[in-house]
Amino acid sequence: MNPTALEQLTDTTSYGHIAHLPIWPAITPEIVEPGVRAQLDEVRREFEQLESNHEVSWDGLMVPLESMNDRLGNAIGRISHLLGVDYSDELQQAYDAVRPAYIELANDMSQSVAIYGAMKALAETEEGQSLSEARSRILSESIRAMERSGVHLQADDKARYQALSTQLSDLSTKFRNNLVAEEKESRVIATSAAEVAGVPKAILDMAVAKAKSDGVEGANSENGPWHFVVNGVNYAVVQNGENRDLRERFLRAFRARGTTDGYDNTDILLAMLKKRQELAALVGFANYADYSLDAKMAPDVDTVWSLFEELEKAAKPAAIRERAALVDFIRAAGAPEADDLQPWDVAYWAEKQQQALYGYDSEALREYFPLPIVVQGLFELTNTLYGVTFEEVTDGSVPLWHEDVRFYQMLRDGEPIAGFYFDPYARPGAKRAGAWMNTVVDRSARLAPDGMPTSLPVGFMIQNARPPADGKPALMSLAEVRTLFHEFGHLTQLMFTRVEEAGVSGINLVEWDTVEVASQFNEFWMDYPPFLEKLTSHVDTGEHLDRETIDRIIDSRTYMAGNGVLGQLVLGKTDLRAHERYGVPGSGDNRSPFEMEQDIIAQTRVMPSLPGDSFLHSITHLFAGGYAAGYFSYKWAEVMAADAFSAFEEVGLDNSDGVREVAQRFEDTVLSLGGSKPAAETYRLFRGRDATPEALLRSQGLLQGNG
């Protein structure tokens, strides 16, 4: 008997005790629409029955709600994931066909007066008053989420809220899809060897291969032509290319993403900003920034602006000195750019200056960072800190969505406690840019397989590193290694969770501005020389990178730190200002978000910018992700991450017993408690106090007196 579309969409398998693993190859475009519609119908029937006939108890109310939300999230989440890693127009069309109905049901569930009343009643019962801390937080945050979703609204306003939610989802999809489709078509073409001088061989090889796939007969590595896809992988053209014209052409194309004919995101993002303001106003907030911060650790917008001011005050003097030193360096090299520094010159000359100051070539260093060695080193660090080991599943029993993907299980004392998928390489046009982590299976007592007290958490970790070439493993840049550590830090918060209530296990209900703490904390280990040395093994000789070079790499972590902070502040300020004022009646600010951005750039940056340059058209974080009015979260969390790492520094990084003791405390709190407590409480349990910016500024060489 053939399985139904719903069965194919939701079917799972197990690997030992790791259960609920999706059958990715079975999720094809033709089963998406019938499968999701069947799931929606099934859940709607159950929800309507629960509305009319429910017990005011945890088991009678919250457990069935968890089951419904879990099934809905799994069905739509699997499709959304595949669109990010294995995009096709057919899959997108199928997803688009069912997304409005999904959003409608989700809104109906979040605006149910009957369920809201039952939750409020449960909170007042004897059972509600004696719930565990985890369940109590799930209940209180569920009530608050329904209030933020407009449960109190009258019928017309509820309908308007639902319409706005659907429209925002549609616009978000269009925003992301424009960028994916544009990347498929975008090219910067070079036709002579002189044009591509200095560009790394791996990038040139990919560009020749792309020219061939574009139908250019006779394309070869000696004579080209070279077709560079306009994406982050090929940004090495700007960093390493000696030809100023090629650098300019690539940078202009890179910064123009989301603005070209047929892929222009301008009207989309303007509409999204206005609709977000209307949605926030409907549920009682002055603006979308206030709405966003209502669910975050940061108490209010003024507190975030104060953090921005404190960081800028520390970074700007350093950034001014950095620019002056870069210009002096260019002038000493006899280059005309010294008197006409342009945006496409900064990354190139910064790379040259960094080589001169610290004695290493970032591109050449790749040979010391083969991806398998880096992954092995990451696993060894995790073992040292938390006492766990990792095994790759190689027998083909775990379904994967692409041949590049690997699946690992994490074990403690030989027993699996979690698992994760790793998808490391760029696939232009099929895989969206960037790096990210997400949950596949929550830790949950309700999802426990037979003979187990709980399900084991499973996540995925996605990167866009250069793929292997010339018969060698993938060779990683320092930035790609750091990204790997960052995303794996997110995974640790999922995999080490001990909470068995799915609603607060892993990263669930962790405030968005603290969800980056574990990831950014993990990056700090790359600045510890003995560990960084372990990550290195020359691709041909197997030799470790020498300690002198490693010390210089770590010393260089403060290179251009001032400008790096200012760059992040431009993003955070623009995001917050636009969501605070644009489209808000009575705000007194009639500027467009692009004008706001230009003013912030002029006030904040010290390096040259392209006229009218805007990141808004291409930043999926804000318009196709979860960072709207929340980009500040990276800096907010970075303050906490640096402060957390300083706890290890205080006991001495060479003190293995002390490090292990602090790591145990970090695991017992930040990594294991998930959203069962407010993030501020969890952090105080670990550190004994609130975080301060001092450790971050010190690590970046930006404390007053650091020079």
User: What is the three-state SS of 453-509?
Assistant: CCCCCEEEEEEEECCCECCECCECCHHHHHHHHHHHHHHHHHHCCCCCCHHHCCCCC
Quick one: average pLDDT of 399-428?
96
Per-residue pLDDT for 105 more than 70? yes
Beta strand pairing call for 458-465 and 415-425: parallel
Quick one: average pLDDT of 638-664?
97
Coil/strand/helix, residue 423:
strand
What proportion of the chain, given as a percentage, has pLDDT over 90?
Answer: 93
Per-residue pLDDT for 503 more than 90? yes
Per-residue pLDDT for 2 more than 90? no
**Counting beta carbons within 10 angstroms of the beta carbon of residue 260, is it exposed (0 to 12), middle (13 to 18) or buried (19 or more)?**
middle
Tell me the average pLDDT of the chain.
Answer: 95
pLDDT of residue 233: 86
Quick one: average pLDDT of 173-187?
92
Residue 582's pLDDT band, with cuts at 50, 70 and 90, is very high
pLDDT of residue 707: 43
**Domain span(s) for CATH 1.20.1050.40 in the chain:** 5-110+112-148
- In DSSP terms, which residues pair with 475 in a beta bridge? 370
Quick one: average pLDDT of 439-460?
96
Residue at 662: amino acid letter: V
Per-residue pLDDT for 434 more than 90? no
Query: Could you report the per-residue pLDDT of 38-63, keeping only the tens digit for each?
Result: 999 999 999 999 999 999 999 999 99
Looking at CATH, the fold of the domain delimited by 5-110+112-148 is given as Glutathione S-transferase Yfyf (Class Pi); Chain A, domain 2 (1.20.1050)
Quick one: average pLDDT of 74-85?
94
Residue 1's pLDDT band, with cuts at 50, 70 and 90, is low
Quick one: average pLDDT of 296-308?
97
Residue 704's pLDDT band, with cuts at 50, 70 and 90, is low
Burial 456-470 (b: 16+ CB within 10 A, else e): bbbbbbbbbbbbbee
Residue 64's pLDDT band, with cuts at 50, 70 and 90, is very high
Q: Measuring CA to CA, how many Å separate 144 from each of 138, 294, 509, 517, 705?
A: 10, 10, 12, 24, 46
Give catalytic residues, as residue numbers. 487
Per-residue pLDDT for 464 more than 60? yes
Per-residue pLDDT for 180 more than 70? yes
180-184, 280-284, 352-356, 376-380: the lowest-pLDDT one: 180-184
